[in-house]
Chains A and B, each alone.
Chain A
């Protein structure tokens, strides 16, 4: 074997590969442009069929013969888009009809598929029309190794208000690392008061710190109103994270009983807790709170001073007046931070 034959062999290989690539390239360009225009045409057709069905009370007919995953994905895309825009009325029964007729069977079959794209399809279908009948499959998909599957299907349990599912989301929140925590938290925050009550119930279980913290974290949301104060244990906890989470709940759910805790925490050694207690005074008018905030303007910590000044600003005219009245001669720290807040933060409040 000499150099010529080796070089010739490589040249032939390259020419064949180039020919294949060129064919694929041309085919790809033509196919992708045809495919994308065909897909958008099919989507338009599906949309018009849906509109027609809604207006003329007709049953929906699919504009394609073959129920392949690609075609059904187009149908699902359109249904999801409609679902974002319409709620209730004639839309809901039509959506359910289309879902049961064309998607449900496939979704159930795909839920246990090896291919994650198919499992994602199933998750999206279940999320479109949540139903208790599919709960076992939904719970199964919640444990999926692919985030794009378990993330999508988690929406479903909140929509259908499954207690078991909510517990699982809280478990996921406490177990998963990174930003998926916030994803689950957001899903829970969009839920109803009934779900919040379950979370409150779950929060009583403090055997596992991360789970307990996850519950408290969701409950701090201002949309939820605690029926009664039951955070004595948490607010006195030696774990600063639990203490802080409980304090946040109190500050976002203003109640008369909360002030004694907030007042204590204003003197806490932990700077984060102290700051949160100051922020808590933004939301409600507790007795003497302005006086306490004014005192905090003299604190040796810049963070504490700045947060006090910001809270005073957020309290409107009364707070601004306190800031304006600070004198350089009386206390340099208080004067400096007041001027800083008045000058640079007035428009961020």
Chain B
């Protein structure tokens, strides 16, 4: 009976699947083109950007950089040195040691001559108990908070409690800043005063070198997984810029994002979820749209932050599983926004895109693989058609990858026309055979993990909505 049903409605199911993949790819292409246009426009603006040149004085806003750190002893000193040495002088750095079990705090105390100081941390946002606040005698802009472990969101909230500036930058401990590009985050604050969050281009720092606080890619020797992730990051940040024109992004990278302090306080800081970078952006959208306050959430094209990514299968698989679970959780927390005109283009387009093109995509792609495989087995799909389908789906990925390179070549040229660049081209040709299928498996594991944690998610949902008084 199932066989009869399948053979009878095979092509109807095919049309539904075709319609889905066509829409997703078409929208991705449109977002890429618009994002590419945005990158070119911003690059052109940078050349004319005499404002920043004139702004090397006290008119630059003071920013607080909050760095949550948990067992980061390998990289923490380098990270803090990098942040301290960036040329932007009007800054304070708050590093939050989130109950590390290794010698992270000890290393910091030795490297920066820290001393415990009786500074009281305000209790605006609830966090786990603070063990101590440390200040450096020689680097007055550095403060270290030592607290009990409470995960990333808790560490960020502790940092926010001590923050004294109008703008806060949250940055991961394994992320490095390119000093040359850092000031670009200031531009949206001048151009559009209602900007509440600014995301920047994030690139991959593995195997690149840091010379005088500028990233050099001359020594880039990426392995297979780094190459694939470089491709993904290139594509992703072009697409994210496209969202600037369609109601704003639903996610800015947790590795480096600048927020308006006031906006973060309005929504009571970061929420207890794994993908807190994604959740906070959705919540900011929701708050400002509900209150009808004009706002802007912007994704910039400049590659400011360089982050370390997993280099082996196991770590990458775990990271992707957590990312997908985080995406599902965040969408679940804000499920009432979907399909509502009240939340304008963000609710009607952006979040639905996140749901259908990101969250549900691995399931539908798996169904499509099974559908094609069954079709071939049952003789419903001929071999030439199968080859055509494979080529078309392969072409889609290569096309977006090529487009992203083109934008890179015409703008910041971080991946120059040399060995690295050719390597990336080669990776784009093989991405659809193996790596893509792996990402589907990892993301489906994210689904299963979400299902396993469903009771906890429900509780978190109630806590978050009660805390933020949405329902």
Contact = CB atoms under 8 A, between A and B. Distances in A.
Nearest to A25: B406
Nearest to A80: B50
B273 to A, nearest CB: 31
B385 A179 contact: no
Given A3-B11, A151-B51, A185-B59, A179 B135 contact: no
Interface string A326-348: 00000000000000100010011
B450 to A, nearest CB: 33
B409 A4 contact: no
A240 interface: no
Contacts of B61: 179, 182
A17 interface: yes
B58 A32 contact: no
Given A18-B399, A180-B193, A344-B117, A11 B391 contact: yes
> Which of B48, B137, B189 has the most chain A CB atoms inside 10 A of its CB?
B48
B409 A186 contact: no
Contact of B410 (A22, A28, A124): A28
A324 to B, nearest CB: 19
A14 B399 contact: yes
17 contacts: A7-B388, A10-B392, A14-B392, A14-B395, A14-B399, A17-B399, A22-B402, A25-B405, A120-B48, A151-B51, A179-B59, A179-B186, A179-B190, A179-B193, A183-B59, A186-B54, A344-B117
Contacts of B413: 32
Interface in B106-152: 115, 117-118, 135, 137, 140
B137 A347 contact: yes
A191 to B, nearest CB: 14
A28 B14 CA distance: 39
Nearest to B385: A4
Interface string A180-221: 101101110000000000000000000000000000000000
B395 A147 contact: no
B49 interface: yes
Contacts of A325: none
A68 interface: no
A152 interface: yes
A24 B409 CA distance: 10
Interface in B40-96: 44-45, 48-51, 54-55, 57-61
A183 B55 contact: yes
Contacts of B342: none
**Top 6 nearest A-B pairs by Cβ distance?**
A178-B193, A14-B395, A182-B59, A177-B193, A29-B417, A7-B388
Contacts of B58: 182, 186
Contacts of A6: 18
Contacts of A117: 44, 48
Contacts of B406: 21, 24-25, 28
Given A18-B402, A22-B402, A124-B50, A7 B190 contact: no
Contacts of B391: 11, 14
Contact of A8 (B14, B57, B388, B409): B388
Interface string A293-334: 000000000000000000000000000000000000000000
Contact of B409 (A15, A28, A151): A28
Interface in B402-435: 402-403, 405-406, 409-410, 413, 417, 421
Contacts of A177: 193-194
A152 B53 CA distance: 10
Nearest to B56: A186
A24 B405 CA distance: 10
A148 interface: yes
Interface residues of A, number: 42
Nearest to A302: B120
Contacts of B60: 182
Given A21-B402, A344-B117, A11 B409 contact: no
A32 B388 contact: no
A148 to B, nearest CB: 6
B385 A3 contact: yes
Contact of B384 (A4, A14, A32): A4
Interface residues of B, number: 49
Contacts of B18: 3, 6
> Which of B137, B382, B388 has the most chain A CB atoms inside 10 A of its CB?
B388
B419 to A, nearest CB: 13
Given A10-B395, A11-B392, 19 more contacts: A3-B11, A3-B385, A4-B384, A7-B392, A14-B398, A14-B399, A21-B403, A25-B402, A25-B406, A30-B417, A147-B191, A148-B191, A151-B54, A152-B50, A178-B190, A178-B194, A179-B189, A182-B61, A347-B137
A182 B14 CA distance: 59
Interface string B182-201: 00001001111110000000
Contacts of A155: 54
B389 interface: yes
Nearest to B417: A29
A18 B441 CA distance: 29
B59 A186 contact: yes
A11 B51 contact: no
A148 B140 contact: no
Contacts of B115: 344
Nearest to A124: B50
Interface in A239-294: none
B24 interface: no
Contacts of A18: 395, 398-399, 402
Contacts of B57: 186
B51 A148 contact: yes
A176 interface: yes
A44 interface: no
Interface string B445-468: 000000000000000000000000
> Which of A30, A33, A182 has the most chain B CB atoms inside 10 A of its CB?
A182
Given A21-B402, A21-B403, A178-B189, A147 B51 contact: yes
Contacts of B59: 179, 182-183, 185-186
A344 B117 CA distance: 8
Contacts of A347: 137, 140
A62 to B, nearest CB: 21
Contacts of B140: 347-348
A99 B179 CA distance: 34
A117 B384 CA distance: 52
A96 B52 CA distance: 25
Interface in B162-197: 186, 189-194
A124 B48 CA distance: 9
Contacts of B11: 3
Given A152-B50, A186-B58, A348-B140, A7 B385 contact: yes
Contacts of A21: 399, 402-403, 406
